[in-house]
């Protein structure tokens, strides 16, 4: 009788990382291993299964039909393994930390991060809230949150900030006839507490471009939906550019918008072991490998 198929959790983790991060190089950076180790683990997994799992399409890797079929359960298996490992090695750390985040953080990644943190540190209580960068910056100053994940321009970076990724801001609009907007230009904003208002509106005023707010919403997903629907012009990081959200052509004639940094910031002088441990977990989960490479 042939031996039963046995799947290696770390090989599944490597496959997931390769697909989630767009290739073996970034997967290796995320997992803290060499690219050859990533390639070897995937090759070993393919040999055990007896079928290919990745297709090279130009410079991109995409999953085969078999890989797509096993991906959801592979994620579940890896998550179960990590929860059990965390339970067996859980710390005695105790305390409470108040954490805030803007909507730039993927909520699925955030939920997984906090879930793993809870398993690893069962005696730590985390209070989590989603709010705007403007409000969270005030909350840090008022000491009503201990850690906040916010956006800042380069001039506002602090030495102890943990930069997770950086993004160049662009004027954006819908792919459907992006030149159609006439004066006053309709703006899509994140509402009264929009972090980008102090950047975008003075730039338009200085260029003599009349404008008015046509759509204001605090939700990041609703903001992008309004852009796609053709309700106006907005400001977003260039990572959101795709087939539906494109650069606004007149924006190319304006002075360049700044780069913004998404980061984790703690209350100055208030960090403790609980806060430091949570920030380390955030950094391990959310840090863009490109930022880690540049800082090395």
Sign for the pseudo-dihedral over CA of 102, 104, 106, 110: negative
Helix (H, G, I), strand (E, B) or coil at 140: helix
Residue 5's pLDDT is 76
Q: Tell me, rounded to whole angstroms, the distance of Cα 253 from its chain centroid.
A: 29
Longest dimension (CA), the chain: 80
Provide DSSP, 69-96. Answer: HHHHHHHHHHHHHHHHHHHHT-----EE
User: In 3D, which of 98, 111, 87 has the Cα closest to residue 146?
Assistant: 98
Residue 154's pLDDT is 95
Residue 262's pLDDT is 97
Structure tokens at 103: 């909507």
Residue 56's pLDDT is 82
Cβ atoms within 10 Å of 122's Cβ, excluding its own: 15
Q: Do the strands 211-216 and 245-247 form a parallel or antiparallel pair, or are they unpaired?
A: unpaired
Please state, in angstroms and rounded to a whole number, the distance separating the CA atoms of residues 293 and 29. Answer: 8
Sequence length of the chain is 296
Homologous superfamily (CATH) of 95-158+261-287 is Periplasmic binding protein-like II (3.40.190.10)
For 9-88, CATH number?
1.10.10.10
Specify the pTM.
0.70
The 10s digit of each residue's pLDDT in 94-149 is 899 999 999 999 888 899 899 889 888 888 999 999 999 999 999 999 999 999 99
Residue 91's pLDDT is 64
Q: Do the strands 95-101 and 124-130 form a parallel or antiparallel pair, or are they unpaired?
A: parallel
Classify domain 166-259 by CATH architecture: 3-Layer(aba) Sandwich (3.40)
Please state, in angstroms and rounded to a whole number, the distance separating the CA atoms of residues 28 and 5. Answer: 26
Structure tokens at 148: 């906040």
Please state, in angstroms and rounded to a whole number, the distance separating the CA atoms of residues 51 and 184. Answer: 58
The domain ranges of the chain are 9-88, 95-158+261-287, 166-259
Check if 9-88 and 95-158+261-287 are the same fold. Answer: no
User: In 3D, which of 267, 281, 268, 266 has the Cα closest to residue 93?
Assistant: 281
Structure tokens at 34: 């060499």
Which of the residues in the chain have pLDDT under 70? 1-4, 87-91, 290-296
């Amino acid at each position: 009788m042939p031996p039963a198929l046995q799947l290696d959790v770390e090989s599944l983790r490597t496959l997931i990382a390769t697909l989630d991060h767009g290739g073996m190089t970034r997967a290796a950076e995320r997992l803290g291993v060499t690219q050859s180790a990533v390639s070897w683990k995937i090759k070993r997994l393919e040999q055990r299964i007896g079928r290919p799992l990745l297709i090279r399409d130009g410079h991109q890797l995409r999953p085969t039909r078999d890989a797509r079929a096993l991906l959801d359960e592979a994620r579940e298996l890896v998550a179960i393994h990590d929860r059990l490992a965390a339970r067996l090695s859980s710390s005695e750390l105790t305390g409470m930390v108040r954490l805030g985040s803007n909507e730039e953080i993927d909520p699925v990644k955030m939920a997984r991060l906090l879930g793993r943190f809870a398993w690893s540190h069962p005696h730590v209580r985390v209070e989590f809230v989603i709010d705007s960068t403007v409000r969270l910056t005030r909350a840090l100053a008022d000491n009503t949150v201990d850690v906040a994940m916010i956006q800042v321009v380069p001039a506002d970076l602090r030495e102890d900030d943990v930069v997770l990724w950086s993004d160049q801001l662009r004027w954006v609009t819908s792919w459907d006839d992006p030149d159609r907007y006439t004066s006053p230009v309709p703006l899509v904003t994140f509402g009264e507490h929009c972090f980008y208002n102090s950047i975008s509106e003075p730039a338009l005023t200085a260029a003599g471009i009349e404008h008015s707010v046509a759509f204001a919403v605090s939700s990041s997903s609703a903001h992008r939906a309004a852009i796609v629907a053709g309700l106006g012009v907005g400001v977003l990081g260039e990572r959101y550019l795709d087939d539906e959200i494109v650069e606004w052509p007149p924006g190319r004639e304006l002075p360049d918008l700044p780069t913004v940094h998404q980061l984790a910031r703690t209350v100055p002088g208030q960090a403790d072991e609980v806060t430091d441990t949570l920030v380390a977990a955030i950094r391990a989960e959310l840090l863009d490998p490109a930022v880690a490479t540049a800082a090395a």
